[in-house]
Amino acid sequence: WDLNLIEQSARVAAIEASAQGLNWTFAPMIDVTRDARWGRVMEGSGEDPYLGAVIGVARVKGFQGEDLGAHDTIAATIKHFAGYGFVEAGKDYNTVEIGTVTLFNTVLQPFRDVFEATNPRSVMNAFNTVNGIPATGDQALQRDLLKGEWGFDGVMVSDWASAIELVDHGFAEDSRHAAYISIAAGCDVDMESYVYLDHLEELVESGEVDIALVDDAVRRTLRLKFELGLFDDPYRYLDADRERQTLLADAHLETSLNMARKSIVLLKNEGNALPLK
């Protein structure tokens, strides 16, 4: 529960990653989950929305620092928006059926808390459906709530190939339809589905997609690049000298060791409750 050390660990990751050419991380994951069958339980902070929020805040602060334009900070991504930790029976990429109380008080609350405390610059949507609608194609979640009511002005990135999986969910007819649904719903960057690359231009030219939606996605992406200083110096995150000085530095190794030590949980075998000698 050492939030200062958790923040420090993210700071170390940002310092080392930024020296090696990285300026954006797909972390932290702040999904709340209560099913140990879900394979990604180890990436999040457990079953409590409050704990997930405060750890998410610490990690975003560590990654982004006080100045995103500094050469040793990187853009954070809070994920997965939304409901990924509530997939039925722990089946990854699958179905989430939850009521509005659980959705807003448990699933979405950590996102809202992290937004208010840190202004993370990107959000990743999710593979799963939420009450029948795939998160990548969910306009109510992405465009209406996140970008509208909450005022998020950063980048919404899809999860890995989640746009094309709209077809697998039976929500889109084909990759072209998936591109239309995703951009309309508020997904700015299509990661690894290539549906925007293959179809977005023709969708705009045919009048099916309003160019204003593309302008908004581009504006958000360019804004983040400006905030990172990439238009002043596109190679600022490639520094061989700084990499040699920072990668696996003694202080960083000490931080990692402290994190490992504080992550160990010891159980007292009181009354021989466990079958151990």
Name the region of 37 (left: φ>0; alpha: ψ -120 to 50; beta: rest).
Answer: alpha
Q: Who contacts 223 (Cβ-Cβ below 8 Å, separation ≥6)?
A: 153, 154
Please identify which residue in the block is written with the tokens 């179905």: 95
Beta bridge partner(s), residue 55: none
Q: Who contacts 205 (Cβ-Cβ below 8 Å, separation ≥6)?
A: none
The sheet with strand 129-130 has its strands ordered as 95-96, 129-130, 133-134
Among candidate residues 90, 98, 91, 184, the one with its CA nearest the CA of residue 136: 184
Residue 106 DSSP code: I
Size of the chain, expressed as the number of residues it contains:
277
Q: What angle (nearest 5°) sits at the alpha carbon of residue 201, between those of residues 24 and 164?
A: 60
Task: Tell me which of 31, 113, 159, 190 is the catalytic residue.
Answer: 159
188 is catalytic: no
CA separation for the pair 104, 100 (Å, rounded): 6
- Active-site residue set: 159
